[in-house]
Amino acid sequence: MNQNKKRLRRTMMFLNAQKPGLIKDAYIYQPDSIMFDLEDAVAENQKDAARYSLYHGLKTIDYRGCEKIVRINGLDTPYWREDVRCAVAGGCDGIRVPKTESASQIKLVEGEIVKAERAYEVEAGKVLIMAAVESARGVMKAMDVCEASERMFGIALSGGDYTRDLQTHITGTGVELMGARQQLIIAARAAKVQCFDTVYTDLDNMEGFRKEVETIHLMGFDGKSIVNPRQIRVVHDIFTPSPKDISFSEKVVREIDEKKEKGIGVFTVDGKMIDIAFYDGAKRILDMAKASGVY
Protein backbone atom coordinates (compact mmCIF):
# COMPACT_ATOMS: atom_id res chain seq x y z
CA MET A 1 0.00 0.00 0.00
CA ASN A 2 1.15 3.52 -0.78
CA GLN A 3 2.15 4.79 2.68
CA ASN A 4 0.86 8.25 1.82
CA LYS A 5 -2.73 7.02 1.71
CA LYS A 6 -3.11 7.54 5.44
CA ARG A 7 -1.04 10.67 5.86
CA LEU A 8 -2.23 13.65 7.89
CA ARG A 9 -4.67 15.79 5.93
CA ARG A 10 -6.29 18.25 8.31
CA THR A 11 -6.19 21.07 5.77
CA MET A 12 -6.33 21.06 1.98
CA MET A 13 -5.68 24.57 0.77
CA PHE A 14 -7.10 25.46 -2.63
CA LEU A 15 -5.21 27.83 -4.86
CA ASN A 16 -5.44 28.84 -8.48
CA ALA A 17 -2.75 26.89 -10.33
CA GLN A 18 -2.45 29.70 -12.86
CA LYS A 19 -1.22 32.31 -10.40
CA PRO A 20 2.54 32.27 -9.86
CA GLY A 21 2.20 34.58 -6.85
CA LEU A 22 0.10 31.92 -5.12
CA ILE A 23 1.87 28.76 -6.14
CA LYS A 24 5.42 30.02 -5.62
CA ASP A 25 5.46 29.54 -1.87
CA ALA A 26 2.10 28.32 -0.55
CA TYR A 27 4.02 25.97 1.75
CA ILE A 28 4.89 28.85 4.09
CA TYR A 29 1.40 28.63 5.55
CA GLN A 30 2.00 24.97 6.34
CA PRO A 31 -1.25 23.39 5.18
CA ASP A 32 -1.10 19.60 5.18
CA SER A 33 -2.06 19.50 1.51
CA ILE A 34 -2.05 22.07 -1.27
CA MET A 35 -4.83 21.75 -3.83
CA PHE A 36 -3.70 23.20 -7.17
CA ASP A 37 -6.91 24.04 -8.95
CA LEU A 38 -7.16 23.65 -12.71
CA GLU A 39 -10.95 23.57 -12.63
CA ASP A 40 -13.29 26.31 -11.39
CA ALA A 41 -10.64 28.93 -10.55
CA VAL A 42 -9.23 28.90 -14.08
CA ALA A 43 -11.03 30.54 -16.99
CA GLU A 44 -11.83 28.40 -20.02
CA ASN A 45 -9.32 30.19 -22.23
CA GLN A 46 -6.55 29.96 -19.62
CA LYS A 47 -6.55 26.19 -19.04
CA ASP A 48 -3.34 25.63 -20.97
CA ALA A 49 -1.56 28.53 -19.24
CA ALA A 50 -2.59 27.12 -15.86
CA ARG A 51 -1.26 23.67 -16.75
CA TYR A 52 2.00 25.26 -17.86
CA SER A 53 2.50 27.13 -14.60
CA LEU A 54 1.37 24.09 -12.59
CA TYR A 55 3.88 21.81 -14.30
CA HIS A 56 6.80 24.20 -13.81
CA GLY A 57 5.76 24.98 -10.26
CA LEU A 58 5.66 21.30 -9.37
CA LYS A 59 8.96 20.69 -11.12
CA THR A 60 10.90 23.56 -9.60
CA ILE A 61 9.45 24.44 -6.20
CA ASP A 62 10.22 22.52 -3.06
CA TYR A 63 6.90 22.38 -1.21
CA ARG A 64 8.63 21.30 1.98
CA GLY A 65 6.54 18.36 2.97
CA CYS A 66 3.14 19.72 1.90
CA GLU A 67 1.21 17.21 -0.14
CA LYS A 68 0.61 18.34 -3.74
CA ILE A 69 -2.81 17.45 -5.09
CA VAL A 70 -4.21 18.68 -8.40
CA ARG A 71 -7.90 19.25 -8.98
CA ILE A 72 -8.41 18.37 -12.62
CA ASN A 73 -11.27 19.50 -14.80
CA GLY A 74 -14.44 17.44 -14.97
CA LEU A 75 -14.57 14.28 -17.01
CA ASP A 76 -17.23 15.93 -19.15
CA THR A 77 -14.68 18.46 -20.43
CA PRO A 78 -11.95 18.16 -23.08
CA TYR A 79 -9.30 19.23 -20.55
CA TRP A 80 -9.01 16.52 -17.93
CA ARG A 81 -6.74 14.07 -19.73
CA GLU A 82 -4.13 16.77 -20.38
CA ASP A 83 -4.56 17.92 -16.78
CA VAL A 84 -3.68 14.44 -15.53
CA ARG A 85 -0.71 14.16 -17.88
CA CYS A 86 0.80 17.49 -16.77
CA ALA A 87 0.12 16.89 -13.09
CA VAL A 88 1.72 13.45 -13.09
CA ALA A 89 4.64 14.61 -15.22
CA GLY A 90 5.19 17.49 -12.83
CA GLY A 91 5.34 15.17 -9.85
CA CYS A 92 2.05 15.65 -8.03
CA ASP A 93 1.12 13.36 -5.15
CA GLY A 94 -2.54 13.04 -5.97
CA ILE A 95 -5.40 13.87 -8.31
CA ARG A 96 -8.78 15.16 -7.18
CA VAL A 97 -11.56 14.08 -9.48
CA PRO A 98 -14.45 16.56 -9.46
CA LYS A 99 -18.15 15.81 -9.78
CA THR A 100 -17.72 12.10 -9.12
CA GLU A 101 -20.84 9.97 -9.38
CA SER A 102 -19.54 6.50 -10.17
CA ALA A 103 -16.68 4.09 -9.68
CA SER A 104 -16.14 3.96 -13.44
CA GLN A 105 -15.09 7.61 -13.47
CA ILE A 106 -12.37 6.88 -10.94
CA LYS A 107 -11.22 3.92 -13.03
CA LEU A 108 -11.09 6.15 -16.10
CA VAL A 109 -8.85 8.65 -14.34
CA GLU A 110 -6.74 5.86 -12.92
CA GLY A 111 -6.12 4.63 -16.45
CA GLU A 112 -4.77 8.01 -17.49
CA ILE A 113 -2.62 8.17 -14.36
CA VAL A 114 -1.11 4.78 -15.14
CA LYS A 115 -0.31 5.92 -18.67
CA ALA A 116 1.31 9.10 -17.42
CA GLU A 117 3.29 7.35 -14.71
CA ARG A 118 4.75 5.07 -17.37
CA ALA A 119 5.38 7.89 -19.83
CA TYR A 120 7.21 10.05 -17.33
CA GLU A 121 8.91 7.30 -15.37
CA VAL A 122 7.03 8.06 -12.20
CA GLU A 123 7.04 5.24 -9.67
CA ALA A 124 4.01 3.04 -10.38
CA GLY A 125 1.22 3.66 -7.88
CA LYS A 126 2.76 6.86 -6.53
CA VAL A 127 -0.09 9.12 -7.61
CA LEU A 128 -3.16 8.72 -5.43
CA ILE A 129 -6.75 9.67 -6.15
CA MET A 130 -9.45 11.40 -4.19
CA ALA A 131 -12.99 11.98 -5.30
CA ALA A 132 -15.14 15.05 -4.87
CA VAL A 133 -18.83 14.43 -4.49
CA GLU A 134 -20.91 17.31 -5.75
CA SER A 135 -24.38 15.88 -6.37
CA ALA A 136 -27.13 13.84 -4.77
CA ARG A 137 -26.25 10.93 -7.06
CA GLY A 138 -22.63 11.19 -6.00
CA VAL A 139 -23.62 11.00 -2.34
CA MET A 140 -25.74 7.92 -3.02
CA LYS A 141 -22.81 6.26 -4.83
CA ALA A 142 -20.17 7.25 -2.27
CA MET A 143 -19.34 3.74 -1.13
CA ASP A 144 -18.75 2.51 -4.70
CA VAL A 145 -16.58 5.51 -5.42
CA CYS A 146 -14.48 5.00 -2.28
CA GLU A 147 -13.79 1.40 -3.27
CA ALA A 148 -13.19 2.06 -6.96
CA SER A 149 -9.40 1.90 -6.84
CA GLU A 150 -6.46 0.93 -4.67
CA ARG A 151 -5.25 4.47 -5.25
CA MET A 152 -8.29 6.03 -3.56
CA PHE A 153 -7.27 7.78 -0.35
CA GLY A 154 -10.32 9.89 0.32
CA ILE A 155 -13.61 11.42 -0.57
CA ALA A 156 -14.65 15.04 -0.19
CA LEU A 157 -17.92 16.87 -0.09
CA SER A 158 -18.23 19.87 -2.37
CA GLY A 159 -21.01 21.82 -0.74
CA GLY A 160 -21.77 24.49 -3.34
CA ASP A 161 -22.66 22.23 -6.24
CA TYR A 162 -24.21 19.65 -3.94
CA THR A 163 -26.68 22.09 -2.39
CA ARG A 164 -27.60 23.42 -5.82
CA ASP A 165 -28.35 19.88 -6.91
CA LEU A 166 -30.36 19.42 -3.74
CA GLN A 167 -32.28 22.59 -4.68
CA THR A 168 -31.22 24.47 -1.59
CA HIS A 169 -28.24 26.65 -0.68
CA ILE A 170 -25.50 27.09 1.88
CA THR A 171 -27.17 28.56 4.95
CA GLY A 172 -24.33 28.69 7.43
CA THR A 173 -26.22 26.41 9.79
CA GLY A 174 -25.06 23.18 8.18
CA VAL A 175 -28.57 21.77 8.09
CA GLU A 176 -28.50 21.46 4.29
CA LEU A 177 -25.28 19.43 4.42
CA MET A 178 -26.22 17.19 7.32
CA GLY A 179 -27.28 14.13 5.34
CA ALA A 180 -24.42 14.25 2.87
CA ARG A 181 -21.85 14.69 5.59
CA GLN A 182 -23.20 11.71 7.50
CA GLN A 183 -23.42 9.54 4.42
CA LEU A 184 -19.93 10.39 3.20
CA ILE A 185 -18.22 9.83 6.52
CA ILE A 186 -19.97 6.47 6.94
CA ALA A 187 -19.01 5.39 3.41
CA ALA A 188 -15.43 6.55 3.88
CA ARG A 189 -15.01 4.75 7.15
CA ALA A 190 -16.58 1.60 5.73
CA ALA A 191 -14.16 1.72 2.80
CA LYS A 192 -11.25 2.70 5.06
CA VAL A 193 -10.46 5.91 3.22
CA GLN A 194 -10.35 9.45 4.51
CA CYS A 195 -13.16 11.99 4.39
CA PHE A 196 -12.92 15.74 3.93
CA ASP A 197 -15.44 18.50 4.43
CA THR A 198 -16.39 21.28 2.04
CA VAL A 199 -14.97 24.82 2.02
CA TYR A 200 -16.24 27.66 4.21
CA THR A 201 -16.20 30.83 2.15
CA ASP A 202 -17.28 33.54 4.60
CA LEU A 203 -13.80 34.74 5.51
CA ASP A 204 -15.11 37.50 7.75
CA ASN A 205 -16.90 35.01 10.00
CA MET A 206 -14.07 33.21 11.71
CA GLU A 207 -16.30 32.29 14.63
CA GLY A 208 -18.76 30.56 12.30
CA PHE A 209 -15.85 28.80 10.65
CA ARG A 210 -14.54 27.57 13.99
CA LYS A 211 -17.97 26.18 14.93
CA GLU A 212 -18.26 24.37 11.62
CA VAL A 213 -14.80 22.83 12.03
CA GLU A 214 -15.65 21.73 15.56
CA THR A 215 -18.78 20.06 14.22
CA ILE A 216 -17.12 18.17 11.40
CA HIS A 217 -14.31 17.13 13.73
CA LEU A 218 -16.85 15.57 16.06
CA MET A 219 -18.57 13.91 13.10
CA GLY A 220 -15.37 12.08 12.29
CA PHE A 221 -14.01 13.94 9.28
CA ASP A 222 -10.25 13.83 8.70
CA GLY A 223 -9.96 17.40 7.56
CA LYS A 224 -11.39 20.33 5.70
CA SER A 225 -10.91 22.07 2.38
CA ILE A 226 -9.89 25.67 2.92
CA VAL A 227 -9.75 28.72 0.72
CA ASN A 228 -7.59 31.08 2.75
CA PRO A 229 -4.45 30.52 4.81
CA ARG A 230 -6.08 32.34 7.74
CA GLN A 231 -8.27 29.26 8.18
CA ILE A 232 -5.35 26.87 8.66
CA ARG A 233 -4.57 27.56 12.28
CA VAL A 234 -8.19 27.15 13.36
CA VAL A 235 -8.45 23.73 11.72
CA HIS A 236 -5.11 22.54 13.02
CA ASP A 237 -5.94 23.72 16.55
CA ILE A 238 -9.16 21.72 16.55
CA PHE A 239 -7.80 18.62 14.82
CA THR A 240 -4.56 18.41 16.78
CA PRO A 241 -4.92 16.36 19.97
CA SER A 242 -4.54 18.37 23.17
CA PRO A 243 -1.83 17.54 25.71
CA LYS A 244 -4.58 16.15 27.95
CA ASP A 245 -5.87 13.83 25.21
CA ILE A 246 -2.34 12.70 24.42
CA SER A 247 -1.53 11.95 28.04
CA PHE A 248 -4.76 9.99 28.53
CA SER A 249 -4.30 8.03 25.29
CA GLU A 250 -0.74 7.15 26.28
CA LYS A 251 -2.01 5.73 29.56
CA VAL A 252 -4.81 3.81 27.83
CA VAL A 253 -2.44 2.17 25.35
CA ARG A 254 0.12 1.36 28.04
CA GLU A 255 -2.46 -0.02 30.48
CA ILE A 256 -4.23 -2.14 27.86
CA ASP A 257 -0.89 -3.62 26.74
CA GLU A 258 0.07 -4.40 30.34
CA LYS A 259 -3.33 -5.68 31.48
CA LYS A 260 -3.65 -7.90 28.42
CA GLU A 261 -0.53 -9.75 29.56
CA LYS A 262 -2.10 -10.26 32.94
CA GLY A 263 -5.43 -11.35 31.50
CA ILE A 264 -7.37 -8.35 32.81
CA GLY A 265 -10.03 -7.13 30.38
CA VAL A 266 -11.67 -4.19 32.11
CA PHE A 267 -10.02 -1.63 34.37
CA THR A 268 -9.97 2.12 35.04
CA VAL A 269 -7.69 4.89 33.84
CA ASP A 270 -8.04 8.29 35.52
CA GLY A 271 -11.39 7.11 36.90
CA LYS A 272 -12.78 6.04 33.51
CA MET A 273 -13.69 2.48 32.70
CA ILE A 274 -11.48 1.18 29.89
CA ASP A 275 -11.46 -2.01 27.83
CA ILE A 276 -9.92 -3.20 24.57
CA ALA A 277 -12.47 -1.23 22.53
CA PHE A 278 -10.62 1.95 23.49
CA TYR A 279 -7.32 0.71 22.10
CA ASP A 280 -7.64 1.72 18.44
CA GLY A 281 -9.04 5.14 19.29
CA ALA A 282 -6.21 5.88 21.70
CA LYS A 283 -3.63 4.69 19.16
CA ARG A 284 -5.25 6.90 16.53
CA ILE A 285 -4.97 9.95 18.79
CA LEU A 286 -1.30 9.23 19.38
CA ASP A 287 -0.69 8.71 15.67
CA MET A 288 -2.48 11.97 14.94
CA ALA A 289 -0.42 13.76 17.61
CA LYS A 290 2.78 12.37 16.10
CA ALA A 291 1.81 13.38 12.60
CA SER A 292 0.87 16.84 13.86
CA GLY A 293 4.28 17.28 15.41
CA VAL A 294 3.07 17.59 18.99
CA TYR A 295 4.04 14.12 20.26
Q: How far is CA 169 from CA 22, 109, 232, in A?
A: 29, 30, 25
Tell which one of 49, 203, 264, 276 touches another protein (CB under 8 A).
203
> Closest CB to another protein among 41 and 116?
41
Distance CA 273, CA 120 (A): 55
Report the number of secondary-structure helices (H) and strands (E) in the chain.
Answer: 12, 10
> Is 192 a residue that touches another protein (CB under 8 A)?
no
Q: Which of residues 226-265 bind another protein (CB under 8 A)?
A: 228-230
> Closest CB to another protein among 15 and 130?
15
Rounded least distance, CB 204 to another protein, Å = 9
> Closest CB to another protein among 33 and 194?
33
The contact pattern for another protein, residues 13-52, with x = CB under 8 A and - = no contact, is: -----------xx--xx-----------------------
The contact pattern for another protein, residues 85-104, with x = CB under 8 A and - = no contact, is: --------------------
Rounded least distance, CB 236 to another protein, Å = 14
Q: At what angle do helices 243-262 and 279-291 cross, to 10 degrees?
A: 140
Long-range CB pairs of 208-216 (<8 Å, 24+ gap) are: 208/172, 209/234, 210/234, 210/238, 212/174, 213/238, 213/239, 214/238, 215/174, 216/181
Rounded least distance, CB 34 to another protein, Å = 14
C-beta of residue 180 within 8 angstroms of C-beta of residue 165 = no
With contacts defined by CB under 8 A, name the span among 46-54, 73-81, 224-232, 272-280 that binds another protein.
224-232
With contacts defined by CB under 8 A, name the span among 37-45, 130-138, 223-231, 283-291 that binds another protein.
223-231
> Which three-class secondary structure state does DSSP give residue 199?
coil
Q: Tell me the site size for another protein, rule CB under 8 A.
A: 8
Residue 142 CA to its chain's centroid (Å) = 15
**The one-letter amino acid at 69:** I
> Closest CB to another protein among 25 and 257?
25
C-beta of residue 124 within 8 angstroms of C-beta of residue 153 = no
Rounded least distance, CB 233 to another protein, Å = 9
Distance CA 101, CA 134 (A): 8
> Which residues of this protein are in contact with another protein, per CB under 8 A?
24-25, 28-29, 203, 228-230
